[in-house]
Structure 1
């Protein structure tokens, strides 16, 4: 989770200035600054979210029932064939975790090779204090994002969907799905589980890894480009501030301990859209209207990347 020192100071200033320019919508509980050491050391889970203990899925949606449903289609319905500006482009969306992981502890605790070492197949993810789960959030945003990108002609594949397996897939399989699809861009969607008062989004970039089955060297440059674009458009569209506990205000974090990034052979990033355990962020994450903004912000960064000269 290191970012080169030379990039941190100007990056932090830029992130904060951009945030101020858009009005600081829903501002953080304190000034954006360096990451808290205690939180930084904890943020090392397989999924990309901070280590956390999540409650089992609640029978209700939590602190904010969805006020708009994500676009959906029947499992056997063919993907739309678009003719827009993204025709011929392939995007893989990886909705973090799975609601069924809670009931499959043995399966998701199985160790898999991520190149640098071995880690759990997957984790349960986190939830708001009222029980709205990260797995449910990520799939909702993924559906919204898919609909936006398909309208522009992209071919979109999800690593999991509501009609899929009851748990997983494992992080190595999530990476493999993007690789097999030869995706032009891939993104893993998450929400964090840090302490109250820690809020904001951050985009996780793959660091340079060349060990075992992992070799990210060909994708670190394009992935940073993809992630930087997404960070900028996510901020502009949602008004969510850059994380005040990771990334020193840049909204960007580099990591080498995530199998979903280490094993990718295509440009790929993770996004932590906010902190589910912070009351201000939770109010946004449980809003269907805000989740639509999140999908729009992510899509604009992806489109910018795919249409770059």
Structure 2
């Protein structure tokens, strides 16, 4: 989930994938309405809506995924474009609760630096999922000529915080930023959704210039994601559109470039979890994200 998601179980041209607050990041994704729909408003939430506590009492940090080789930059349709990918959460967050619980300014208020993200009932963590999908997405985008920047690549002991994730996309002057997440809602809640920035102007936050392009980016991703994965928009948020507008996520509020959060599915639903834990399906998810980003950047 994006790090400060409003669901109970948690919530580079330049493209920033942020792979916050559907946990994960990802302070990892109309907050009160979604909270009531998903039933996640009762637990502490992160940038993506994921629970800020481990799913089990002593949940260990997941092993770092093996990095795939980075393809040489090509001269494809995305040459000259920058995409920032933001893998929601970090497996090390489980062991750094003090650090990730420190609050940072998101313009409208202060929120926790990050959260642990959610997991499947069997313990496959959102942080492992988001990093794996982000690697696959990077390879697909670089093969098309894009320059890809990560907010982190599992090399940090924890974080980065949600405000830093936003700054990385801004500094890269990304054509697009995508934050990759998975939600942690109730069983029976199925499907994907894309979180779009609301119009916010408060403190250091001013999203006026990115609201429209971010919506276009989100719509393209939602369409292509559905085609590539064969899954449907969420049945518990977004009224069947697969789109949700939020004003409480620091990763979106502090962005000065087009940015969205993508909750690829619900890790707490057994049927969705079966998809999310499949490497074949994760490749389809990455393909859908890449196709959506490409159609947006190509106009």
Q: CA deviation at 1:38?
A: 5.2
1:285 aligns with 2:270: no
Counterparts of 1:231-246 in structure 2 under 5 Å?
Answer: 231-246=222-237
Scaled by the length of structure 2, what TM-score is found? 0.83
1:227 aligns with 2:218: yes
Match of 1:253 among 238, 244, 247: 244
Match of 1:123 among 115, 123, 136: 115
1:158 aligns with 2:154: no
Larger helix share, 1 or 2: 1
How many residues are paired up? Answer: 263
Q: CA deviation at 1:90?
A: 0.0
- State the partner residue of 2:8: none
* Contact 2:61/2:92, CA 8 A, preserved across alignment: no
- State the partner residue of 1:45: 45
With over 3 angstroms needed to count, the CA separation of the structure-2 counterparts of 1:101 and 1:225, relative to structure 1, is same
For structure 2, list consecutive stretches of 5 or more residues without a partner in the other structure. Answer: 1-32
- What is the root-mean-square deviation of aligned Cα atoms in Å? 2.1
Match of 2:129 among 131, 137, 161: 137
* Contact 1:109/1:121, CA 8 A, preserved across alignment: yes
For structure 1, list consecutive stretches of 5 or more residues without a partner in the other structure. Answer: 1-33, 62-68
| In structure 2, C-alpha distance between the alignment counterparts of 1:102 and 1:143, rounded to whole Å | 22
- Describe the SS at the equivalent of 1:249: coil
Counterparts of 1:34-73 in structure 2 under 5 Å?
Answer: 37=36, 39=38, 42=41, 45-51=45-51, 53=53, 54-55=55-56, 56-57=59-60, 72-73=68-69
Larger deviation, residues 166-175 vs 41-50: 41-50
With over 3 angstroms needed to count, the CA separation of the structure-2 counterparts of 1:90 and 1:197, relative to structure 1, is same
* Contact 2:182/2:267, CA 8 A, preserved across alignment: yes
| In structure 2, C-alpha distance between the alignment counterparts of 1:46 and 1:218, rounded to whole Å | 25
1:99 aligns with 2:91: yes
| In structure 1, C-alpha distance between the alignment counterparts of 2:45 and 2:212, rounded to whole Å | 24
1:196 aligns with 2:195: no
* Contact 2:50/2:116, CA 8 A, preserved across alignment: no
* Contact 1:198/1:244, CA 8 A, preserved across alignment: yes
- State the partner residue of 1:181: 172
- State the partner residue of 1:212: 203
- State the partner residue of 1:113: 105
- Describe the SS at the equivalent of 2:76: coil
Q: CA deviation at 1:37?
A: 2.2
Q: CA deviation at 1:151?
A: 0.2
Deviations 1:117-139 (A, max 9, x none): 00000000000000000000000
